[in-house]
A and B are shown apart, each in its own frame.
Chain A
């Protein structure tokens, strides 16, 4: 774009190709390793090309379950992860849309105080408040439950803040036109604000889904019941399987599977996201 000389172009491409290679290499290794028998991975030259064991490896982890991971089939763990990630994502979006709506469109006492309280929690990640949160969950007897897994992660200062910023850009006249058109606050929210936020919701959905899917520490602490294990936890447990040698071929196969849903979400949502950018309304 800037440079049109051949050397410049070649150099640019070289740097880009190097970058891509660097980023993709681990993924490639995981893919390759998941298709080999265990012995191949413990010998000196680690294979760089696919082996012949793909079918067996994936079948083992998907259906059988692995003693090292508590005998839970990976399919089950994927399902758990998906429920948790979707629960967190949808919950976060719903809550933060509503709180941003309240903060931007309503005048109530201590409005700014509430806003700053939400804003300050941006500085407190899950890890910092993990003990008190755990305590609360115990008292509510939510250990080992979907509620315990999802609810504490739902409050989101980031998304609230982003939606607030977006709502502030919606022209006041739209609110006023809606008031004249006899739309009450919730009707305005549902009929006008929500459709206008579509592309923002898509973008935040991507970020939050990956955030939810990758949760490790909290599920580890809150669940001891194997039927609630998530796939990220499963990988962790397989690697720390005590004295036995790590089963790298199976771990890598699980990792590959664990990567798929976030990739699918990105691909699916990107469509909407880009579409929103191209045919920007107004």
Chain B
């Protein structure tokens, strides 16, 4: 069990691609940290630098307080689970799990004990003598996890381990993974581009964009107080709605001339600056009766709806503009295309971002 400390970590690939730029993070002992972000933002690169599979261009990497930049992957006391499993195809499940332990020169009975323990934990006892090709995708992924568990590493690294599985299996393995973490109490660093996976698994989420970490926080922190417009857009499904507003002299934010909020003292913006107002689809309601205190009201023209059973998602435009607007309602609702809907939103649920930098404006 161990901490992982990342200081100004930078990666520039040969050829000049700058994949990771001065990333800082501290991962606590036993913490489950999930790296999320769009494709190509550098998640795998960070993970592979922690693993030692990719050289570090700049900065320091500390595992358990020791600088490990120049250590071989085998000497960092980490284990990694790959997206495509990366099992040795010619070895049985047992041999796959043993391989690392044998290379470490462990005693036979200890190897056997660890294997049977891991196999029991992962319900792989019946498959120990099979070859990987005789297993289903989910079983293969469990073997890959078993291979990591038997090594009893300081840090577990996962690179999109569930991406190759179907939705149902993914949900099931997600629960198993969470249970595994609770039981092992080990440090997990987990990469995914699936925000549901991130929200449900993580103690803390790190949202990445173009080689940088935009925000690190608990799932509820990043949901309730996204630090940038990018994070606000990335976390939550359907994605947050963004409406343009302006700041007036008194520090009020106005949308379409109506006052929606008073920005806290000393806003870093001058009067007349553009402000982005964000509101989540689930925070819009059909209750537009009293636009007076604490409510922002707006109208939308519906275009189509998605009925999901428990919820209905209505897509449309802010009336009179081209700005897309999404609304999520509990239960079953029906709209006709072009229908005008009056909406309200509690101003406590509004988010404000600087239109230029995307940074959150304290509100």
Contact = CB atoms under 8 A, between A and B. Distances in A.
A181 B100 contact: yes
B84 A173 contact: yes
B325 to A, nearest CB: 43
Q: Which of A177, A183, A192, A282 has the most CB of B within 10 A?
A: A177
B168 interface: no
A192 B88 contact: yes
B104 A180 contact: no
A171 B89 CA distance: 11
A129 interface: no
A167 to B, nearest CB: 15
B86 A196 contact: no
A173 B82 contact: yes
Contact of A196 (B52, B74, B84, B90): B90
A182 B90 CA distance: 18
Kindly state the interface size class of chain A when it binds its partner: 20 to 34
Given A181-B100, A183-B99, A282 B86 contact: no
A225 interface: no
Interface residues of B, number: 25
Given A176-B82, A180-B78, 9 more contacts: A176-B73, A177-B86, A179-B52, A180-B80, A181-B100, A181-B103, A181-B147, A182-B104, A195-B90
A112 interface: no
B106 to A, nearest CB: 11
A198 B131 CA distance: 16
Contacts of A281: 89-90, 131, 133
Contact of A171 (B78, B86, B99, B133): B86
Contacts of B33: none
Interface string A261-273: 0000000000000
Interface in A172-189: 173-174, 176-183, 187
Interface of B: 51-53, 72-75, 78-80, 82, 84, 86-90, 99-100, 103-104, 131, 133, 147, 151
A182 B82 contact: no
Interface SS majority for chain A: helix
A182 B147 CA distance: 13
Nearest to A173: B86
A187 B100 contact: no
Nearest to B159: A173
A191 interface: yes
B100 A171 contact: no
B99 A191 contact: yes
A211 B21 CA distance: 56
Contacts of B86: 171, 173-174, 176-177
Nearest to A282: B89
A281 to B, nearest CB: 4
B103 A179 contact: no
11 contacts: A176-B73, A177-B86, A177-B147, A179-B72, A180-B51, A181-B147, A183-B74, A183-B99, A187-B103, A191-B99, A281-B133
A213 to B, nearest CB: 30
A176 B99 contact: no
B241 to A, nearest CB: 40
Interface in A234-265: none
The 8 closest A-B pairs by CB, nearest first: A182-B74, A173-B86, A181-B100, A281-B89, A182-B103, A177-B86, A195-B90, A179-B73
A180 B74 contact: yes
Nearest to A174: B86
A192 B100 CA distance: 13
